[in-house]
């Protein structure tokens, strides 16, 4: 994230109204305003405590549910001692949150910052937002030590213990509109391929369109962070402190959460995110026995293609709007060679 302290996407009165929902009274002190690909993070001091206010300000390039703060749903799923055993149980867990659209929480999980409030009504602020206890820490890419990557693998394995009985297009569909993998994945791949054809070299578009997909995957769908990468993994004092940025969370295959860690493992000497085999290996090891099987599977290669098309399209969409890649992130063209390699590998399965 980059410091954007001069640009505040709210007025002082709006900020007071946000914290009034937490019984927080003025004075409020804004310590920093940080801008990322999708969100603006505001570090706020209220009554001697530090909070994060997270607003989805770049909605024009956000590709998932527009009116949802997923941290509220994820916190419910990851609450200690509460792993809903069925999709029907998950529906009951979600219903009150989806109906209310805003509310106070006091969630405590092993991987999320403690969530205090969520709101996607757009009545106080123009964008969906949440408030959480501030967590100090540096991104994992600033502390690239193998033991921290192993810890990240262990954290991901815990996230993936939230299982679903079917595949779903989005969170509001859980328990209501189940899909087979043979419906879910081709739909997702087709959407990205249609968007990519305008910019992708024809040979790559044709190869991706010609992929032979299996009828099913021998994996059970689970909670997938879908943005699991070193920028969203915070560390301090030699340990992980939080997994942040759950906007992209979906119900999907575990393999999807390995892809960004492969391609955005750490920053290279040019300051750009790039693959780092040793650190990625430590991450896979930390996940446990299933980790190696996942990254050697057909499913992993297929999700590599899906993600590479997504990130290519994301950067192309930003470029069309005159928005440069965020600091440290490669341009769209950098993913073409990666896509070519994966498509060649898939031809051997």
Token digits for 180? 């087979």
Token digits for 98? 């989806």
- Tens of pLDDT, residue by residue over 141-186, are 999 999 999 999 999 999 999 999 999 999 999 999 999 999 999 9
Distance from CA of residue 127 to its chain's centroid? 18
What is the structure's pLDDT at 24? 67
Quick one: pLDDT band at residue 83, thresholds 50, 70, 90?
confident
Torsion of CA 195, 197, 199, 201, to 10 degrees: 150
Residue ranges of domains in the chain, CATH in brackets: 2-133 (3.30.200), 138-346 (3.90.1200.10)
What residues contact 82, with CB distance under 8 A and at least 6 apart? 76
Residues in the chain, how many?
A: 349
Quick one: pLDDT band at residue 11, thresholds 50, 70, 90?
confident
pLDDT at 259 over 70: yes
The mean of the pLDDT values for the chain is: 92
- Tens of pLDDT, residue by residue over 202-224, are 999 999 999 999 998 889 999 99
CB 235 within 8 A of CB 152: no
What is the structure's pLDDT at 1? 52
What residues contact 79, with CB distance under 8 A and at least 6 apart? 107, 108, 109
pLDDT at 91 over 70: yes
pTM: 0.91
pLDDT at 301 over 50: yes
pLDDT at 17 over 50: yes
What is the structure's pLDDT at 6? 44
CB 142 within 8 A of CB 36: no
Distances (CA, A) of 132 to 96, 118, 136: 20, 9, 12
What is the structure's pLDDT at 7? 63
SS3 240: strand
Distances (CA, A) of 322 to 58, 308, 317: 13, 21, 9
pLDDT at 62 over 90: no
Quick one: pLDDT band at residue 59, thresholds 50, 70, 90?
confident
What is the structure's pLDDT at 5? 46
Quick one: pLDDT band at residue 41, thresholds 50, 70, 90?
very high
């Amino acid at each position: 994230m980059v410091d954007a302290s001069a640009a505040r996407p709210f007025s002082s009165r709006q900020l007071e109204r946000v914290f009034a929902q937490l019984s927080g009274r003025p004075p409020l002190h804004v310590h920093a305003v940080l801008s990322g690909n999708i969100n603006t993070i505001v570090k706020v001091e209220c009554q001697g405590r530090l909070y994060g206010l997270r607003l989805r300000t770049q909605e024009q390039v956000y590709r998932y549910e527009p009116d949802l703060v997923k941290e509220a749903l994820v916190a419910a799923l990851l609450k200690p001692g509460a792993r809903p055993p069925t999709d029907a149980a998950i529906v009951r867990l979600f219903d009150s949150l989806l109906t209310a659209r805003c509310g106070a929480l006091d969630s405590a999980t092993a991987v999320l910052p403690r969530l205090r409030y969520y709101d996607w009504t757009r009545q106080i602020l123009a964008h969906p937002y949440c408030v959480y206890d501030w967590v100090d820490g540096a991104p994992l890419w600033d502390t690239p030590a193998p033991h921290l990557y192993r810890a990240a693998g262990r954290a991901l394995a815990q996230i993936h213990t939230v299982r679903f009985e079917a595949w779903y297009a989005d969170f509001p569909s859980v328990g209501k509109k189940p899909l087979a993998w043979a419906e879910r994945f081709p739909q997702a791949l087709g959407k990205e391929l249609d968007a990519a054809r305008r910019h992708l070299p024809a040979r790559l578009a044709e190869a991706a369109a010609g992929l032979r997909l299996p009828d099913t995957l021998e994996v059970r769908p689970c909670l997938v962070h879908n943005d699991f990468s070193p920028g969203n993994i915070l560390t301090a004092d030699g340990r992980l402190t939080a997994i942040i940025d759950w906007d992209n969370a979906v119900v999907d295959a575990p393999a999807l959460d390995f892809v960004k860690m492969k391609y955005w493992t750490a920053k290279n000497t040019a300051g750009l995110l790039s693959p780092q085999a040793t650190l990625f290996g430590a991450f896979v090891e930390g996940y446990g026995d299933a980790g190696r099987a996942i990254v050697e599977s057909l499913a992993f290669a297929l999700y590599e293609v899906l993600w590479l098309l997504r990130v290519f399209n994301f950067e192309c969409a930003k470029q069309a709007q005159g928005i440069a890649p965020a600091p440290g992130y490669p341009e769209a063209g950098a993913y073409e060679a990666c896509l070519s390699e994966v498509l060649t590998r898939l031809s051997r399965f």
